[in-house]
Amino acid sequence: MANVEGMKLIPPHNRFKGGMPKIGIRPTIDGRRRGVRESLEEQTMNMAKAVAKFLEENVRHYNGMPVECVIADTCIGGVAEAAQAAEKFAREGVGVSITVTPCWCYGAETMDMDPFIPKAIWGFNGTERPGAVYLAAVLAAHNQKGLPAFGIYGRDVQDAGDTTIPDDVKEKLLRFTKAALAVANMRGKSYLSMGGVSMGIAGSMVNPDFFESYLGMRVEYIDETEFIRRIEEGIYDKEEFERALRWVKANCKEGPDNNPPEMQVSREKKDKDWEMVIKMTMIARDLMVGNPKLAEMGFEEEALGHNAIVAGFQGQRQWTDHFPNGDFMETILNSSFDWNGIRQPYILATENDSLNGVAMLFGHLLTGTAQIFADVRTYWSPEAVKRVTGKELTGLAANGVIHLINSGSAALDGTGQQTKDGKPAIKPFWEVTPEEVARCLDATQFRYANLGYFRGGGFSTDFTTRGGMPVTISRINIVKGLGPVLQLAEGYTVELPEDVHDILDKRTDPTWPTTWFVPILTGKGAFKDVYTVMNSWGANHAAVCYGHIGAELITLASMLRIPVCMHNVSEDRIFRPSAWNAFGTNDLEGADYRACAAFGPLYGRK
């Protein structure tokens, strides 16, 4: 049993320089004095206050910090007050804008014109004053000017004095805000490419244009020799290393060595590998976000880190042909805990697959949870399973399963040993308990690396994800002439009977973590059957995020102008900027492509 005595939550904090983006609320109003404006001031400002309160009570940043709303100092009746609000928002670091109004106001005179800040407008559904008329007018202005905005219009008429936010409006406010905060929080951060291209995987040809134009991020590149320099010159916190080593020895149990006996290495070599992979873990983290401890040791430059909200490690092959593989490092950094306590995951893609790293980042930004990185390895049809095991697949697995498995980078949270309402779950790190940490560790074995693949050794993470978790798999793919596209599939993790699992797992690599995934089928297109989901996947990897977050991903992609090429989210959950309607309302997928192409990447420049 893992020992979690004294394990504490490291309180949510900002790892990066500067403040967290705030949500700016803009109450707009009919500017006519001598009656009209005065009669609306209170109601309008109350709408702004209600939205601010609702969001502050119901949304957290991805790092667990509370969100902060800033309301314009006055209602906005015209351009002077719009400029005043913009000035206040710039001063306060606003990254998300929500305009609210119960009445008619002057569209282009009151609108938010900042092209980089995601925008929504809630037009009150009442009829004493026409909030919806303003909503329509200002959305038309947004569309005409190429500044897409999300329209929120409640379904049912409210009375003028009603200060409540209807449930359908709440749902849209939340969907918009979560995605908009994701946009704001990744902006200005980096992807850290540690190493180069892994085994010709195109996602590890890290493309700065994509990161800059679509995500507002930069790419930092370092050579993996930096790990060796830091290890040999002792550029890591020695006290932490000793503590980490003790913790790993006590809590990370080594499973059986699966290599043929003649290839197996000595205990001494394994112990050396443990030391090395712990150092790699600390160094990768320090490279990503810095470490003040290094400055105390005289390494001021290294102490700063690369401002990386996500990173990738090449590993294969030049590194792993000689040194221990990155599996332990990737697993631990992606998990919601380590020897320091329960803490925010660091998002790290194996094989430096930056496009899968971005999918992991999206999932983390939207939920605060740890992510599983996996190969989309095998579709097992019911017939093939029957042939190989003699058993029928049943229940959720009856139509076949997809085997998600890669040697590294699956967070230990991926064991599914946390619980929500008594069911297996992956929770935002700030909700994870020490007992759940112990269960995740107990469900995991660290098994000596497959020496056929990894000549330098190391330890791979071996667990099987518990079934019954709602999850979403996703990935960004880049296509020449088209640009990036997002694909996703909502579904469930399933558990197979132990004997069936064993036979299938042994055919693959039993030293790696397995997630059995079943997508929700719609009977149409890519979701005709499980085989077609697998067959339509655009690359070798997927990011697995707990929860059905397809709708949130679609909203986020529309903000960044990344079209969604494959999804199984029902139309009633899809929320995109109002301009998307102008590109066609019958075929939403085609309209998405046309809209993304017409507006171009959020931060694109010619």
Ligand X SMILES: C[C@H](O)[C@@H](O)[C@@H](O)C(=O)CO
Report the run of H or E that residue 557 belongs to, with start and end.
Answer: helix 550-560
Binding site annotation covers 541? Answer: yes
Candidates 233-241, 265-273, 293-301, 370-378; binding stretch for Mn ion (CB under 5 A)? 370-378
Considering all CA atoms of the chain, what is the largest pairwise distance in Å, rounded to the nearest integer?
A: 92
Distance, in Å, from the CA atom of 412 to the CA atom of 438, rounded to the nearest integer, reads 10
- The answer to whether 375 is a known ligand-binding residue is yes
Give 255 or 470: the residue with its C-beta nearer to ligand X: 255
How far is 336 from 434, CA to CA, in rounded Å? Answer: 11
Q: Which residue lies nearer to ligand X by CB, 316 or 464? A: 316
407 touches, from ligand X, Mn ion, none (C-beta below 5 to 8 Å by class)? ligand X
490 is catalytic: no
* Alpha-carbon span 375 to 407, nearest angstrom: 9
CA distance 314 to 456: 14
Q: How far is the CB of 375 from ligand X (least distance, A)?
A: 5
Closest approach, Cβ 505 to ligand X, in A, equals 15
Identify the residue among 43, 407, 444, 515 touching ligand X (CB under 6 A). Answer: 407
* SS3 assignment for 244-267: HHHHHHHHCCECCCCCCHHHCCCH
Minimum CB distance to ligand X, residue 201 (Å): 6
Query: Which of 351, 436, 490, 592 is flagged as catalytic?
Result: 351
Which residue, among 421, 445, 329, has the nearest Cα to 2 in the 3D structure?
Answer: 445
Task: Report the residue from 43, 97, 314, 406 that binds Mn ion according to the rule CB under 5 A.
Answer: 406
Strands laid side by side in the 190-194 sheet:
218-222, 190-194, 308-313, 347-350
302 touches, from Mn ion, ligand X, none (C-beta below 5 to 8 Å by class): none
State the nearest-atom distance from the C-beta of 198 to ligand X, in Å. 8
Stretch that binds Mn ion, among 48-56, 265-273, 275-283, 402-410 (CB under 5 A): 402-410
- Least Å distance between CB 407 and ligand X? 5
Please provide the size of the chain in residues: 606
Asked whether 347 and 191 are in contact (CB, 8 A), the reply is: no
Strands of 317-441 (E only): list them.
Answer: 337-338, 341-342, 347-350, 372-380, 401-405, 418-420, 423-425
Q: Per-residue x/- marks for ligand X, 288-327, CB under 6 A?
A: ----------------------------x-----------
In angstroms, the CA 383 to CA 379 distance is: 11
Closest residue to ligand X, Cβ-based? 453
DSSP 526-546: GGSSHHHHHHH--SSEEEEEE
d(CA 531, CA 573): 25
Binding track over 519-558 against ligand X, x by CB under 6 A: ---------------------x------------------
Tokens 């749902």 sit at which residue?
Answer: 171
User: What x-and-dash track marks residues 313-352 binding Mn ion by CB under 5 A?
Assistant: --------------------------------------x-
Tokens standing for residue 107: 């569209």
Cα distances from 505 to residues 385, 450, 463, 572, in angstroms, run: 12, 14, 11, 38
From 112, 237, 302, 375, active-site residue:
375
- Lay out the site mask for ligand X across 331-370 (x = CB under 6 A, - = otherwise): --------------------x-------------------
- Measured distance CA(491)–CA(2) in Å, rounded: 31
Partner from ligand X, Mn ion, none binding residue 453, C-beta < 5-8 Å depending on class: ligand X
Do the annotations mark residue 351 as ligand-binding?
Answer: yes
Q: Which position has the token pair 């599996």?
A: 327
- Does 92 qualify as catalytic in the annotation? no
Query: Applying CB under 6 A, does 406 fall inside the site for ligand X?
Result: yes
Contact partner at residue 464 from Mn ion, ligand X, none, CB < 5 to 8 Å by partner kind = none
Residues of the binding site: 351, 375, 541
Active centre residues (catalytic): 351, 375
Interacting residue ranges for Mn ion, rule: CB under 5 A: 351, 375, 406
Residues of the binding site for Mn(2+): 351, 375, 541
